[in-house]
Amino acid sequence: MRIAGSKQKLPIRSTSEGLNTRALRSEASVTLALASMDSHVVDLNKDTSALSKRVKSEFDEVEQYLWEVYQREPVKKDGSGDFTWKDQAAARRMSMSLQRYVISGMDPDFREQLYHAGRAMDADGLRWSILSAFRDDYRQSIASGLKAGAKNSRHGGSLRTGGYGHGQAIDVTGTEGTTMDQVWRWIDGHGGKYGLHRPMPGYDPAHVQSRRDWRKVAQNLRKRRNQLAQHEREVTLASLGRD
């Protein structure tokens, strides 16, 4: 049967009001009905739980450790004054959490080096902390005192390192009874083992960065950490089996 009248012949989205909302509503209910009839509903649930797992492990153990170290000394200051606000402002500018900005902005290999050196320092009884880690060009531009140009910092300058995710320098200090001098001396004595050094002990003593062969050093350190974790898992499983 042919339907008479111009109204029924119009395409559903070309009424004078622009959109035919009644038609859209009915399309929506058809889509919903289909979604609940097939496996989409199950898939959506699976995706949600996978997402929540990713959120839980957003930071790996290295990032978590370095963030804990960063927070040991919550007030960031040096000879030029209190600059705690600067990392916070730079993180906000990039719409990131402070941890994601200062810690995850460093190169994963450099983080690996810091993790192992830091744990060794902890074991030697030194309470070390991080004054400054990743700095993008903006953060570098508001840094005070002796510093490289905005794009040329090893802390994460876009020209020097490639920017976010590539920072290869931190400024270190001591806290809770450990002096900065003790931390600097420890780096001088043991840093080489971890591919780290203080290139400017005279005019920028807090500055620690990677040295040659650091990629290789970092890979070996990561391998050792993963082997240790694997070993610990096996020991745990074995002890569970005995009970």
Contacts to Zn ion by CB under 5 A: 169, 171, 207
φ/ψ of 22, rounded to 5, equals -65, -40
Q: 127 or 155: whose CB is closer to Zn ion?
A: 155
Closest contact distance (angstroms) between CB of 211 and Zn ion is 14
Question: What phi, psi does 134 have (nearest 5°)?
Answer: -65, 140
Q: In the bound complex, what is the minimum distance in angstroms from residue 193's beta carbon to Zn ion? A: 21
Q: How far apart are CA 215 and CA 199, in angstroms?
A: 18
Q: Which is nearer to Zn ion, 98 or 148 (CB)?
A: 148
Q: Which is nearer to Zn ion, 173 or 178 (CB)?
A: 173
Classify strands 81-82 and 128-132 as parallel, antiparallel or unpaired: unpaired
Q: How far is the CB of 139 from Zn ion (least distance, A)?
A: 12
Which residue number, 169 or 187, has a Cβ lying nearer to Zn ion?
169
Between 63 and 171, name the residue whose CB sits nearer to Zn ion. Answer: 171
Question: With respect to Zn ion, which residue has the nearer C-beta, 134 or 194?
Answer: 134
What's the gap between Cα 236 and its chain centre? 29
- Least separation in angstroms between CB 102 and Zn ion: 13
- DSSP H helical segments within the chain, as ranges? 6-9, 21-37, 40-56, 61-72, 84-93, 98-102, 108-123, 137-141, 180-190, 214-242
Q: How far is the CB of 72 from Zn ion (least distance, A)?
A: 18
**Which SS3 state, helix, strand or coil, does residue 209 take?**
strand
Specify whether the backbone of 95 is left (phi greater than 0), alpha (psi in -120 to 50) or beta: left
d(CA 188, CA 193): 10
Beta 169-174 vs 207-210: how paired, if at all? Answer: antiparallel
Residue that has been written with the tokens 């009248």 in this structure: 5
CB of 122 to Zn ion, least distance (A): 21
